[in-house]
Structure 1
Amino acid sequence: MKSRSLAFVGTLAALALASGCAAPAETAPAGSGGSGAPSAQVTAVAKDDAIAAMLPADIKSAGKVRVASGVSFPPMEFFGPDNKTVLGFDADLGAALGQVLGVTFEFQNTNFDGIIGGLDAGRYDLGLTSMNDKKSRHDRVDFIDYLNSGTTAMVKKGNPKGVKERLDLCGLNVAVEKSTAGDFTIDAVNKECPGAGKPAATKLPFPDQASAVQALQSGRADAVVTLDLSLAYDVKQNPNAFELALKPFDAMPVGIPVPKKSTELRDAVQAALKKLQETGVYDQLLAKWSLQDQALPGAPLNQGK
């Protein structure tokens, strides 16, 4: 992350160290192939006592929120050069939400496909990991929606397989992260392939997004499919290696999953997110990570279909 106000650095330093995530004011080099954060100016936010009072008693007592995150999805969440510090938009958002609520958002890395199960089991309080708000998940969690994102495909530079539309993925080896938008998208595409007279795509599922990208880089996969907000970042970091083959499609909200029973926590985090939007910090974080096109105002609940 680039230059920022010294006051903000001081305000968040303890929070960043305690949580293992990068405070929005921390400094790191940009353009380092995913190891650093971009430049931007982000304003500090004071604790809001009224919103903090909405937190459940156990979280107030613990002074922290246990956050489940699949930390391999730049620019949303990824490890810094020390392989410990969590960087990215979600990390910064968690730090800012923690400021408003007066608690630490403690990121815990886990496989994406195990996050909702971990919330059910009580291992985590919520997820902050670029999870699509899907109606099929509403029986287990509520979503506080904070971004919009579509799905796209990333291919090697020059697009050697000529992918120009969704059904061009038929017959290809396609890497996806398990239980993500890309995983579900290839299932949907494969239902359409026979009608187009094409063989189904061979889906290559991986436990994390970094492995899916590596499969494309090594030639094991012909394409990677997932949310545009992540693949656009990969292309920006590696413009000579990758390109986007498709315009984003099937846009849907991205939300913070909270267990159904945790209504107090849900309402407190929603109020804190609205506070960040009202103060302009949300817009500053979007600008910092080049996510302005994915903005979703109002912090609505359960907007997914």
Structure 2
Amino acid sequence: MSKKTVSVILLLFLFIIGLAGCGKQETTAGKTLQVGMDASYAPFGFQDEKTKDYIGFDIDLIKAVAKQAGFDVEINNLNFDGLIPALQTGNLDIAISDMTIDDDRSQKVEFSQSYYKAGLGIVVRANNTDIKSVADLAGKNVAVSIGSTGAEAARKIENVKIREFNTIADAFLELKAGGVDAVINDIPVNEYYTLQDKSKETKTVDTPINSEDLGIAVAKNNTELLAKIDKGLAEIKQNGEYEKIYVKWFGKKPPVE
């Protein structure tokens, strides 16, 4: 084999490798990405009783972002505390589930720009007159969902007795059954739950615990996908689709940023 022939083969090989590298830069284009959420956080994500489809604000939002960014999504229902590990192992591409952006989680995953301004609040039984703020939870039995910021907030309360549940729905059921004095959870979920509670056995406490930003999570260093999500999110905010979704699930326009 002549040196000229070897050179031609080498150039062809490098050209093919270059094409393969270019292809990797568009890994999400036209593909179906796996999205994880906990289907117990209505109105962000829950299962329709009749159709069994997963519905909610987070579902509509990620579908709109995906459409704008040029990929499809498949929804997977996992317990909340399993979402970040599933991103880390590659079983999920995206997690969106009323997830607060905080320092601890940001060390494990990448977060999009905030898509919702939330906060933690308290739910008690309707006949409770003792608990009016987080200070009144000292020494009380408090229910939270595993791995949530509600659980983190509960641990800061003096002499509190914490009960952790796999889903926030189970925590609310324990409250109604009288097993705990209160539930700490995200305010929009609390409000939706008490509004839908036909028994009227629960109510929200007026004073919030704090204010938080919700974000869409991807695996650490997956900057390509994160950039597409941020771009898609910005575009649906600009074209009015975000406002439509927000009004659909919360009955009011989103706050001005």
Counterpart-to-counterpart distance in 2, 1:186 and 1:127: 24
Secondary structure of residue in 2 paired with 1:221? coil
Deviation at 1:156, TM superposition (A): 1.0
In structure 1, give the amino acid aligned to 2:29: K
Q: CA contact under 8 A between 2:37 and 2:96: conserved in structure 1?
A: yes
Q: Deviations over 1:159-184 (max 9, x none)?
A: 25x10121211122111001112101
Instruction: Specify the alignment match of 2:140 in structure 1.
Output: 172
Deviation at 1:139, TM superposition (A): 1.9
Secondary structure of residue in 2 paired with 1:116? helix
- Written as runs of structure 1 = structure 2, the 5 A alignment for 1:95-110 is 95-110=63-78
Deviation at 1:56, TM superposition (A): 5.2
In structure 1, give the amino acid aligned to 2:245: L
Secondary structure of residue in 2 paired with 1:131? coil
In the superposition, the TM-score normalised over structure 1's length comes to: 0.72
- Confirm or deny that 1:134 pairs with 2:102: yes
Instruction: Specify the alignment match of 1:219 in structure 2.
Output: 178
Instruction: Specify the alignment match of 1:250 in structure 2.
Output: 210
Counterpart-to-counterpart distance in 2, 1:169 and 1:124: 36
- Confirm or deny that 1:148 pairs with 2:108: no
- Written as runs of structure 1 = structure 2, the 5 A alignment for 1:1-305 is 57-60=26-29, 63-82=31-50, 84-144=52-112, 145-160=114-129, 162-189=130-157, 193=158, 200-238=159-197, 240-290=200-250, 292=252, 295=255, 297=257
Counterpart-to-counterpart distance in 2, 1:100 and 1:176: 35
Secondary structure of residue in 2 paired with 1:133? coil
When residues 153 and 258 of structure 1 are mapped into structure 2, their CA distance, relative to the original with a 3 A threshold, is same
In the superposition, the TM-score normalised over structure 2's length comes to: 0.84
In structure 1, give the amino acid aligned to 2:38: G
Secondary structure of residue in 2 paired with 1:179? coil
Counterpart-to-counterpart distance in 1, 2:217 and 2:256: 16
Deviation at 1:255, TM superposition (A): 0.5
When residues 121 and 102 of structure 1 are mapped into structure 2, their CA distance, relative to the original with a 3 A threshold, is same
Q: Deviations over 1:91-117 (max 9, x none)?
A: 111221122123222111111111111
For structure 1, list consecutive stretches of 5 or more residues without a partner in the other structure: 1-54, 194-199, 298-305
Secondary structure of residue in 1 paired with 2:119? strand
When residues 244 and 293 of structure 1 are mapped into structure 2, their CA distance, relative to the original with a 3 A threshold, is farther
Secondary structure of residue in 2 paired with 1:59? coil
Counterpart-to-counterpart distance in 2, 1:71 and 1:96: 19
Counterpart-to-counterpart distance in 1, 2:196 and 2:152: 26
Deviation at 1:246, TM superposition (A): 3.7
Counterpart-to-counterpart distance in 2, 1:158 and 1:294: 32
Instruction: Specify the alignment match of 1:20 in structure 2.
Output: none
For structure 2, list consecutive stretches of 5 or more residues without a partner in the other structure: 1-23
Counterpart-to-counterpart distance in 1, 2:163 and 2:51: 26
Deviation at 1:295, TM superposition (A): 4.5
Counterpart-to-counterpart distance in 1, 2:256 and 2:88: 27
Deviation at 1:158, TM superposition (A): 2.4
In structure 2, give the amino acid aligned to 1:86: Y
Q: CA contact under 8 A between 1:76 and 1:130: conserved in structure 2?
A: yes
Q: Deviations over 1:131-178 (max 9, x none)?
A: 100012222212112111111100111225x10121211122111001
Q: CA contact under 8 A between 2:69 and 2:231: conserved in structure 1?
A: no
Q: CA contact under 8 A between 1:159 and 1:245: conserved in structure 2?
A: no
Counterpart-to-counterpart distance in 1, 2:51 and 2:128: 32
Q: Identity over the aligned pairs, expressed in percent?
A: 27
Deviation at 1:83, TM superposition (A): 6.9
- Equivalent pairs, count: 233
